[in-house]
Structure 1
Amino acid sequence: MDKQNLIDMANRIGEFFESMPDHDEALAGVADHIHRFWEPRMRRALLASLDHPDADGIAMSAIVKEALVKHREALTPAAPATA
């Protein structure tokens, strides 16, 4: 999973929602979009980039960071079931 590509995609989602007049609604929109349309491994990789930022790559936008932090629990995929 290319972390930089995920951050770039998340930043584009953030740009769309950033224009909303209600900031909390914008944060919820970013989180909801990522939750609904990104598969669990993509969400795991994006959330991991919060904990281990890469100084050489694309910076995560402020609205995306804030949305991920605020809605982290809801965005975190359930652990895979073990047999």
Structure 2
Amino acid sequence: MDTQNLIDMANRIGDFFDSMPDREEALAGIADHIRRFWEPRMRRALLTSLDEPEAGGIEMSAIVREALVKHRESLTPAAAPVV
């Protein structure tokens, strides 16, 4: 999974919501968009990048980082059932 591409996509989502006057609504909008339209492995990789930032490359914007931290629990995909 190309984490840098995921961060770039998340930053573009953040750019859209950053123009909203209500910060809490913007943070919820970012999280909701990622939860609804990103597949679980994409969300896992993006959330992992919060804990293991790579040197160089694209930095996650402040609003995206804040949204992911605030809504991390609801963004974390459920574990796959063991068969």
Q: Normalization by structure 2: what TM-score?
A: 0.99
Structure 2 runs not aligned, ≥5 long = none
How big is the shift at 1:76? Answer: 0.1
How big is the shift at 1:40? Answer: 0.1
Report matched runs for 1:2-17 at 5 Å.
2-17=2-17
> Could you say which residue in structure 2 is the equivalent of 1:46?
46
How big is the shift at 1:7? Answer: 0.1
How big is the shift at 1:50? Answer: 0.0
Q: Normalization by structure 1: what TM-score?
A: 0.99
Q: CA RMSD in A?
A: 0.3
How big is the shift at 1:57? Answer: 1.2
Give runs of ≥4 in structure 1 deviating > 2 Å.
Answer: none
Structure 1 runs not aligned, ≥5 long = none
Aligned-pair identity in percent equals 78
* 2:77 equivalent to 1:64: no
> Could you say which residue in structure 2 is the equivalent of 1:26?
26
Distance (whole Å) between structure 2 residues aligned to residue 75 and residue 47 of structure 1 = 8
How big is the shift at 1:63? Answer: 0.2
How big is the shift at 1:10? Answer: 0.1
